[in-house]
Copies of this chain bind each other. A is one copy, B any other.
Amino acid sequence: MVSVSFRKLAVFGVGLIGGSFALALKRAGIVGKVAGIGRSRSNLERALELGVIDEAADQAGVALKGADLVLVAVPVRQMDAVFAAIAPHLEPDAALTDGGSTKRDVIGAAQSALAGKIGRFVPAHPIAGGELSGVEAAGAELYRGRTVVVTPLAQTDPQARAAVDAAWRACGARVVEMSAQHHDEVLGAVSHLPHALAFAMVQMIADRPNASELFGFAGAGFRDFTRIASSSPEMWRDICLANRDVLLAELQAYRAELGSLAQLLEDADGDALERTFASARAARNAWLAERK
């Protein structure tokens, strides 16, 4: 394990992702000071009260002054504005990372805004979180045992990369590298698609004339199936738009999968239905066993 420490961390967007990163680095004892900056003054006040940040800044230059580690953890469609605010004030030795769930768009935003400083940026996506959002939900253990995907560019400075990897590892995460395109495809399939499906399921029920009766008979299966439909609408709007091409292809593939299932039902093909369900169960259970 590389020994690493940071003078000052600046967090843009002190919510679940940003707040948990700050708390984890504090817990690891490798950060001198944490500055937070964000849209909501009351959220920053709460972050101060909770000890997530040590100072609340209202200007990017103030937050970035002396910061050698910077995390941008805002909804992905706000990244371009935040990078533009960061660009003039980023310290030469600062390593910059983000917590965005999509990577091609965030990289595009960073390239436009950071220009010559792009080498300091190490795009990252911590696969952690949940349907809760905001600094109240943040915790030092959020990233423990989780995976952080980094999608570096050809220009990424190796020293910035090493610093960012070390920071995420200090949070307890495993760091994996892939291309931004591949990241967006993989996460489109196993994360963005299920979120879209869960939102659609709840919305379909909610739109029915007998919605309240239907919800009244929904059980624990429905609860868990739709847990991710309690996620932040703004965050998921941004992810869906940012990864639109992949998500559209996944929705089409999934609708085709449902078409095949409907055909088995039309044919009353019990053997094939049972084989499909058994195969899905076996795959999921094998995944669960490996995951623990």
Residues of A within 8 A of B (CB): 77, 127-130, 146-147, 149, 186-187, 189-191, 193-206, 208, 211, 213-231, 233-234, 236-238, 240-241, 244, 247-248, 251-255, 257-259, 261-262, 265-266, 268, 270, 273-281, 283-285, 287-288, 290-291
A241 contacts across to B, CB distance below 8 A: 265, 268, 270, 273
* Contact A213-B198, Cβ < 8 Å, known A224-B228, A251-B262: no
A275 contacts across to B, CB distance below 8 A: 233
| Distance of A231 Cα from B276 Cα, bound (Å) | 12
Q: How many copies does the complex hold?
A: 2
* Nearest chain B residue, comparing its CB with the CB of A260: B200
User: B233 and A214: CB pair below 8 A?
Assistant: no
A237 contacts across to B, CB distance below 8 A: 270, 273-274, 277
* Contact A190-B203, Cβ < 8 Å, known A229-B280, A265-B240: no
* Contact A229-B273, Cβ < 8 Å, known A222-B191, A254-B258: no
User: B224 and A205: CB pair below 8 A?
Assistant: no
Interface centre among A193, A198, A254, A288 (most CB of B within 10 A): A198
Within the complex, the shortest CB–CB distance from A269 to chain B, in Å, comes to 9
User: A233 and B127: CB pair below 8 A?
Assistant: no
A189 contacts across to B, CB distance below 8 A: 205, 208, 214
User: A257 and B128: CB pair below 8 A?
Assistant: no
User: B203 and A221: CB pair below 8 A?
Assistant: no
A-B CB proximity, top 10 nearest:
A233-B277, A206-B283, A233-B278, A202-B280, A237-B274, A190-B218, A203-B280, A215-B287, A194-B225, A221-B228
* Contact A254-B204, Cβ < 8 Å, known A127-B217, A225-B224, A236-B277: yes
Within the complex, the shortest CB–CB distance from A204 to chain B, in Å, comes to 5
* A217 partner, pick from B149, B199, B284, beta carbons under 8 A: B149
User: A225 and B254: CB pair below 8 A?
Assistant: no
Within the complex, the shortest CB–CB distance from A150 to chain B, in Å, comes to 13
User: A230 and B285: CB pair below 8 A?
Assistant: yes
A149 contacts across to B, CB distance below 8 A: 217
5 additional A-B pairs beyond A199-B261, A215-B287, A244-B265, beta carbons within 8 Å, are A77-B270, A200-B261, A203-B283, A231-B277, A248-B262
A240 contacts across to B, CB distance below 8 A: 265, 273
User: B217 and A274: CB pair below 8 A?
Assistant: no
User: A234 and B288: CB pair below 8 A?
Assistant: no
| Distance of A77 Cα from B268 Cα, bound (Å) | 13
Within the complex, the shortest CB–CB distance from A89 to chain B, in Å, comes to 29
A284 contacts across to B, CB distance below 8 A: 202, 226, 229-230
Within the complex, the shortest CB–CB distance from A219 to chain B, in Å, comes to 5
